[in-house]
Structures are given as C-alpha cells and as structure tokens.
Structure 1
C-alpha cells in the first residue's frame, strides 16, 4: 500500500466533515457508506492520526483533524483547477462552484443565482450563506460576494457597486436625546453597532476625513436589517448603507446625522484567489453577477431620483487589493 494520500480519501474526509454525517456524505459522493468508511479509515491509517471522533450519534473533528481539513480543502481546490486547465475541448461549464455570500441579499440576486444554475446544468453549485467572512483559500471556496468598507487584502476582486455608509437616527430619538453636533457628542449617545468581519462587535466608526472614531455600543448585531429596525424604533444612532435607509430618509422616519463627520464607502465586490488559470465556472459566475449588478444599478437610478451621483461604478475589470487595503478603493 502506498503511503501517499489519495484524492478519493481527501474527498471522503472533507465531504464527511461538511455533511456532518457519513450517510449524507456517502450519498453526495454516490458511494456505499461502507466504502466511505473504508476510505476514512485508510486515510487515518496512512497519516497515523485520528481525524474524526465518530459515535453512533455524533461526528466531530479532532484538533489534528481541523488542521488537516483546511489543508485538504486547499489540495482539492488545486486538483479542481488542474483538471479545469486541460478541459478545453468544448465550452461546457462543468464541475463544482463553491460560493460564499452574506445573508439578506435581494430577491433579484436570488433569482440570478437560480437562473445561473439552470443555464449550466453540468455545474454543481454550492452557495454558503454567512455573516462571517469565510477564508476563501483555506475554506476551499471559489469566489465570495463581500459587502464591506474594507475587504480582505491579498485577493483579486471586482467591485460591483459602491454604497455610502451614513449615520442615521429616528426623529423621536433626536427629540429625546438631542442631535449630536460633533463626533465627541457620540459619547453621550446610544450607538447601534455591527460586527467587524461578521465576527467581533465593532468598536469604531469611520471618519469622513479618514481614520476611525472609537464609539461605545448600546446594541449590537451582524444583521444590518435588524440594526435599521432598531434605529427606526428610536433605539439609537446606526451606521448603515444609504441604499438601505434611503426610503426612510425620504419618508422622514430617519434623519442623517453628523453628515460631514461620520461616514465611509462600502463596496460590494466579488473576491477570488489569484490564479494563473481562472476556472470557466468562476468566470461565468463573475459575468452573471456583473450583469445583474449593472441591471440593479440602472433600476435603482430610475426609481430613486434623489440618490447621490457617483455612488457606484460599472464593473469593468478586476483589480488587485494592495497589501495595506484602502477604504473606498477597488477591491
């Protein structure tokens, strides 16, 4: 028996971890459960380490298994790219496409993804939804849709839309607590904060002139719709995308505060790993999302005449994220 780990064993392991079930993983791989079990046992034997703790009711990674899982995903992604690099005999888009997106996307985006999957029936599309910023490389993802004022550096990205982040509060809150006149006044106000990268509570807001201001939060959520609802109810001041709060600003249910002092530009961008060869399915998805974004932008302009100019750019070409990362730059 060779000491080299086989691709089938890596696939059995990673699919079992993701499915959290031997039976589901076996069904997805279309092999008998016993065959999957033998591949996992053979993998652990080759490595001389226990990767999974299995009982009749649970399945969990060991500490060594967690490390090996991340590396196995990278290895399998490299295999997929290698296979795609030689499949040039036809224009058929096939294989796997793993996508990471934030929640609460528009119905138009959902429809676009559904149409995309129907357009390429030979493609296996996996869409992972999370408020957390997944690690594209270690998580084995092909591409991610990010909405952030700062996007992880070191990746190739395509900016689709730009949306200013502005501070807003309900008239009832302003009547009860006063309108902040300076950034220092925020020390006496209730701030409604999000989570940095979807993981840790925010502690700072961006300054319009550059830099950041430390703020104390009274309410935290990684769901911007929940933060918007909290602001509408008069719970405090929130920093939110203009596109989300524009209807409430126009109706008077929210007011823009500290307009000249607090704010930044949130970018909605597709990010993916730099590769010498971009898999056809990734290129096809980039084109589909870019077309959707352009249509979405046109619709917003036609239905929102008060929207500020130059808050979005047409997607034309990818740009490299500089090592330092820049607010408001193409990512």
Structure 2
C-alpha cells in the first residue's frame, strides 16, 4: 500500500515537473516528497529521476515506470468520479424488493425517476417472504406492518387505511353485517399465520372499541390472492385502501361496516445500511414516498 502512495507521489512530481510544486498539490513538505521518491528508487533498485538545481529529468526506467503510475492514478481518479456520481445522481442498478401485491405500484412510483435518469436501471424482485437483504444484494425493500427485529434500517413512508370488504354477491347470499358482533358468523379470509385465531381490532363511533377473535376459513400468505378470493365471493377480508380502489370503483367489492375503523398499516422503506446511501436509493425512497401520499386513504 505504501508503494502505491509513493507511485502517486512520483506521478505528481512528473506531472508538476517539480518536487516543490508536487508537494504543494499533495499538501506535503518538499522534503517528504523527496523522501518518498528515494524510498521508491531504493525499493526498485533503480534511478527514476535525474535531479539538478533547475529541473528534473526522467531516466529511461523512469519514463516507463511513470506511464504505469499515471495509468494507476487515472484509474483511481475515475473510481473517485464514479463514487461522486453515485452520491450525486441516480445511476447503476437499483435492486428493489417488494411484496406481490405492491408490484403494480412500482411502475407509476418509479417511472418518472427512471425516465429522468437514463443511467439508472431497475431489478425488481417480487416476493411476499422477508428475504435477507444482504444475501440477495437488495438496495431497497418495501415492507408493510410490524417489522421483525433486525440490523436493517427502516424509514416509514406512510400508513394507509385498512377496510373490511366483501363482494356484493357474498353479501346477498349471507347478509350484510350491521354490528361488529355480526362479523363472527361470517366466512373470513385471512393472512396466513403460524398459529392462533385472527384478531380484528375495530374502533367505532363515540370511541367504541371491539376486538374480535376470528377463525379464517381460507388463509394465504399472498394478499393479492386474498383480494381475488374476496372479489369471488368466498368471504370477508381486511383489505388495504391502496389495493382495492379499482375493485371498489368497479363494484367488485364493497366496504362493510364503514363506520368502524381498523388500525392503519404502516409502509416502510428498508435498507441494509444507514450511512452513505447512494443517490439511486435516496431518490427511489423519495419517489415512493411522494407517490404513496398521493393515493386515496394514505397518510
């Protein structure tokens, strides 16, 4: 490593044609620069420079050696420019992980960012499982709800409303609930859990509160599948406002007990590291945040 530093000092001396000028450029004393050159010559057992009181002249070996030292310095400068560019402007490959149900939001959320920065590419990994960000080399993950303990860094992007939903066909067949207690007699679709019932917290008018223990008839680890089964009339489900706007507007789903609220769901941007985030990650987090806050039912 010391030899690399001495090679950089040697290249600066040749470019500046003076040890004193190179010393000023490098922030060193002239004697320190001279000492680095002597050590470089001793380690290689060769003379690189002829010195006089007026000028420095390269030896034949020095000319050949300088060409390689200059190439090394230029490569290091290019690497520094690449680091600076990654800090200042989005570029390179952005590796994004998102749940299946959120995948359809990626294009409208990040489309403008990708259009504005042609040097930026996107690799989207869609998976409902909480994958290891380090092992999968993920730059940014979108996660929902309560996060497990980890060393990763999470920033809350927003939270969105959760609504009780059913299809009109299901309600015609099974009746429409008018009180929270009515929900106990209905078929339920729930997100798969290891064990235990589904606990539904409801807040109603005049600060009323209910906690219901429900046994789902159908469970899945995929929220989009639950939404499709709910629209098909297989039962009631708790759906995110971010996901069901199209189904509500088209009449495939309707809200049940709209005066009773379910606690909202947090949306997180999760990254493997806190410091020195590249521009591609910082800009992507901002784009996701701005997009989400413009959606109905999102705060």
Same structural fold, with TM-score higher than 0.5 when normalized by the shorter chain: yes
Distance 1:280 1:112 in 2: 16
Number of aligned residue pairs: 214
- Is 2:198 the partner of 1:204? yes
Counting only pairs closer than 5 Å after superposition, residues 1-331 of structure 1 correspond to structure 2 as: 87-88=83-84, 91=88, 93-105=90-102, 109-110=106-107, 112-113=109-110, 116-117=113-114, 119-123=116-120, 125-146=122-143, 148-152=144-148, 155-195=152-192, 203-209=197-203, 213-246=212-245, 248-249=247-248, 253-259=252-258, 263-294=262-293, 297=294, 300=295, 311-313=297-299
Task: State the TM-score, normalizing by the size of structure 1.
Answer: 0.51
Cα gap change, 1:289 to 1:85, in 2 (>3 Å): farther
User: How far off its partner does 1:163 sit?
Assistant: 2.0
* Structure with greater helix share of residues: 2
Whether contact under 8 Å (2:192, 2:221) holds in the other structure is yes
Whether contact under 8 Å (2:160, 2:265) holds in the other structure is yes
Distance 1:245 1:101 in 2: 18
Which 4+ stretches in 1 moved above 6 angstroms? 83-86
Counterpart secondary structure, 2:171: helix
User: How far off its partner does 1:93 sit?
Assistant: 4.2
Q: Once superposed, what is the RMSD of the aligned Cα atoms?
A: 3.8
Whether contact under 8 Å (1:163, 1:241) holds in the other structure is yes
Task: State the TM-score, normalizing by the size of structure 2.
Answer: 0.56
Q: Per-residue displacement from partner, 1:203-239 (whole Å, max 9, x unpaired)?
A: 4243024896432122223443432332233211111
User: How far off its partner does 1:130 sit?
Assistant: 0.9
Structure 2 residue runs of 5 or longer lacking an equivalent are 1-78, 204-208
